[in-house]
A and B are shown apart, each in its own frame.
Chain A
Amino acid sequence: MDDASPPHASPRATLPSRPLSRRGIERLDLMLLCAEALDLNGGEAMVWLSEEMGCTDVLPNRVELWKRRCSNPLRRTTRRGQLQSAEADALIRILNALADHLYPMLRSLLSSAEPAEITAQRWQLFSSRLDELLRERFNLRRGAVQRLLDPQEGPALSRDLIQAMALSAGPGGFERLRASLLDAAS
């Protein structure tokens, strides 16, 4: 595989190369957390994908990968300093590949064609894992984290993240996701 041209990546000369906003970093890390909630080996898969896609110059090992993810201000232990554009691109590329790998699971969560009971069980399993990871790693005093854990608001927010992952998968997903994470701060 060519390091300079990862799979599904298309030319993005017109996309700005500014760093992600605070909201962009939060959303990117939350989607990576969702990938971990869907796949118990998601953390290992990120390291493997980083090596496979030639991102080792930016994310040389699992510690550096972890530190970049800790740029998320919602984390229990946050890292000061801004996430560089190349580092954010590497994380987005990893998420794009993870979403592609997890697409059948994402699809089954979003589909209305399957029996409602089975879909509800899948959501229950995903939500319990996501809650566990949030409580373990995130700052529970943050409003955004509390909303995700809230039984009323949480399911809609989780669904929004899963839908975003599904639209970020596959060819074209990288540039679409990157553009969305660079949205103007609201």
Chain B
Amino acid sequence: MKLSTRYEQTSCRLVLEGLPDLSAGHSADTLGIITGFTLALAGRTELEGKRDHLQALLNAVMPYARHLLSGQPRAFGAASDAVAVEPTAGGHQLELRSSQPDTPPLRLQLDDAELADLVRCLDQLRLDARVAVPFELPPPQPLRRRELRRRQPLAQRLSAPLAGVGALLISALLVSLLPPTPRAPLPGKTPAAAPAPLR
């Protein structure tokens, strides 16, 4: 029995088609095998693909959104992947590479609103209880320090330690310029204050 699920969000419509995986013990209304999907982004060609393409779309878009949320936009999707996404001056570029030889990749420019719509559709898909397809997607994780390098400019990051080292050097120089003060003899060491020997 063929099943179809649809996820819509203003400029994005994702339709998933498949079959229940009865051998895995799923119910008849649970989509367990994906036979194909269509993705319609407003004003653009409707895209079609198989399970692998959907996985590649998730692999590129979800971590991209995760990094964008932390203010760290960066490209996702290697040259060998079916889907890649990268930040551009006016928004985001989604690149879809065909498995057919001599077919140029399809590049779609998305603005921030369209990207948010796409992310919401993909969220609905991967968290849908009616879909029992195990997508290999790690849960979002906090970014590590080295992934956040661009948050503060280098000059701003180095300003505090450099100012500290500078202040230390200046104070050391000023202290070295002070004339040495003669030390008063300690009272206990003066001969007059020495106790007379007992007889």
Contacts and interface: CB of A to CB of B under 8 A. Distances in A.
Interface residues of B, number: 37
Contact of B69 (A164, A170, A171): A164
Contact of A163 (B112, B117, B123, B152): B112
B90 interface: yes
Interface of A: 8, 10-12, 14-16, 103, 106-108, 110-113, 160, 163-164, 166-173, 175-180, 182-186
A167 B139 contact: no
Q: Interface SS of chain A: helix, strand, loop or mixed?
A: loop
A65 to B, nearest CB: 24
20 contacts: A11-B139, A15-B142, A107-B116, A110-B111, A112-B90, A112-B91, A112-B112, A163-B68, A163-B116, A166-B112, A170-B123, A171-B120, A175-B140, A176-B65, A176-B66, A176-B140, A180-B69, A180-B142, A186-B148, A186-B149
Contacts of B126: 172
B116 A110 contact: yes
B70 interface: yes
A174 to B, nearest CB: 10
B73 to A, nearest CB: 10
Contacts of B144: 184
A175 B126 CA distance: 13
Q: Interface SS of chain B: helix, strand, loop or mixed?
A: helix
B109 to A, nearest CB: 10
B112 A173 contact: no
Interface string B140-179: 1111110011011000010000000000000000000000
Contacts of A178: 140
Given A8-B127, A183-B142, 10 more contacts: A112-B112, A113-B111, A164-B69, A167-B116, A167-B119, A178-B140, A179-B139, A180-B140, A184-B148, A186-B145
A26 to B, nearest CB: 13
Nearest to A104: B10
A108 to B, nearest CB: 8
Interface string B114-130: 10110110111011000
Given A14-B141, A176-B140, A166 B66 contact: no
Contacts of A186: 145, 148-149, 151-152, 157
Given A14-B139, A175-B139, A179-B142, A111 B120 contact: no
Given A14-B139, A107-B113, A168-B69, A184 B145 contact: yes
A170 B11 CA distance: 16
Contact of B116 (A14, A106, A112, A160): A106
A111 B127 contact: no
Contacts of B116: 103, 106-107, 110, 163, 166-167, 169
Contacts of A177: 69
A159 to B, nearest CB: 8
A106 to B, nearest CB: 7
